[in-house]
Structure 1
Amino acid sequence: MTADRSRLIDYIQQMEEAAQQATDFIVGLDKTTFLADTKSQMAVSMALVIMGEGVARILKLNPHIADDHPEIPWMTIKGMRNLVAHDYFELEFEVVWKTVNEDLPQLLAQLRALRHIHAQGE
């Protein structure tokens, strides 16, 4: 395995781990509890930042991956990272809740498949 492929797999795995952590942070919480829980909000927000950083690194290493795998919302993930990191006070935690509950489960499956594809040598 080449060094670039190994780094790519590492970045995908870091994104996958952060997405899993974000979903784990809200286990047992309902929307009302999450919206009142600053600690959970900050934990999930940091996981979103990590995912966005992963996208930035992946796109730098392999700029064509977004074209090759359009099923993954690369720029949306990066945009969420930018919102959390640069406009935190504008962040709508209802959107964060929806993202973690509705979008991350599918993204997790996509990242696992992508990591497997690249580990096999795509």
Structure 2
Amino acid sequence: MYRCVEPVDWLPYIRRMVEAAEKSQEHVRGATEAEFVVGAVVYDAALMQLVVIAEAASRVPPSARDELGAVPWSDIRAVRNRIAHNYEGLDEESIWHTVTVKVPQLIEVLHGILTEHGEA
């Protein structure tokens, strides 16, 4: 699956992505979409974790990203760029979908990578 022949010095970044993704889930746990959209603290906290995921992802070397094709690298970067450069125009429903649907899928993929490398 995710066998890597070069040193896996990028695993700390994968772990950091998992930590931030799991924090985003903690922030929205028990919230409805309506509460998320109007609850600035929860919304902002979730946005910050999406940025942290993307920043950690950007530190994974291209050779590893190529090997780890199940991770949606370009989507992660796109979300970060939308947050960083278009905050006023963010679509809250899209962010909700990202946090409640896409991030749990990402967590599953990242846990698989860590397991493959004896890190789980």
* 1:33-82 residue CA offsets vs partner (Å, 9 max, x unmatched): 11110111100000000000011111xxx212232121110110011111
Q: Report how far residue 11 of structure 1 moved.
A: 0.5
Structure 1's unaligned 5+ residue stretches are: none
Q: Percent identity?
A: 30
**Corresponding letter in the other structure for 1:113:** G
TM-score, length-scaled by structure 1: 0.85
SS at match of 1:28: coil
Listed as ranges, the gaps of 5+ residues in structure 2 are 1-6
Equivalent position of 1:51 in the other structure: 53
Q: Secondary structure at the match of 1:85?
A: helix
Whose helix proportion is higher, 1 or 2? 1
Q: Once superposed, which parts of structure 1, at least 4 consecutive aligned residues long, lie more than 6 Å away?
A: none
Q: After TM superposition, give the deviation of residue 119 of structure 1 in Å.
A: 4.0
> How large is the Cα RMSD of the aligned pairs?
1.4
Q: Secondary structure at the match of 1:21?
A: helix
TM-score, length of structure 2 as denominator length: 0.87
Structure-1 separation of matches of 2:68 and 2:117: 12
- Preserved contact between residue 11 and residue 54 of structure 1 (Cα < 8 Å): yes
Counterpart position of 1:29: 31
Q: Report the Cα distance in structure 1 between the residues aligned to 2:33 and 2:26, rounded to whole angstroms.
A: 14
**What is the rounded CA distance, in whole Å, between the counterparts of 1:112 and 1:8 in structure 2?**
14
Count of matched residue positions in the alignment of Structure 1 and Structure 2: 113
Aligned partners of 2:54, 2:69: CA distance in 1, in Å? 16
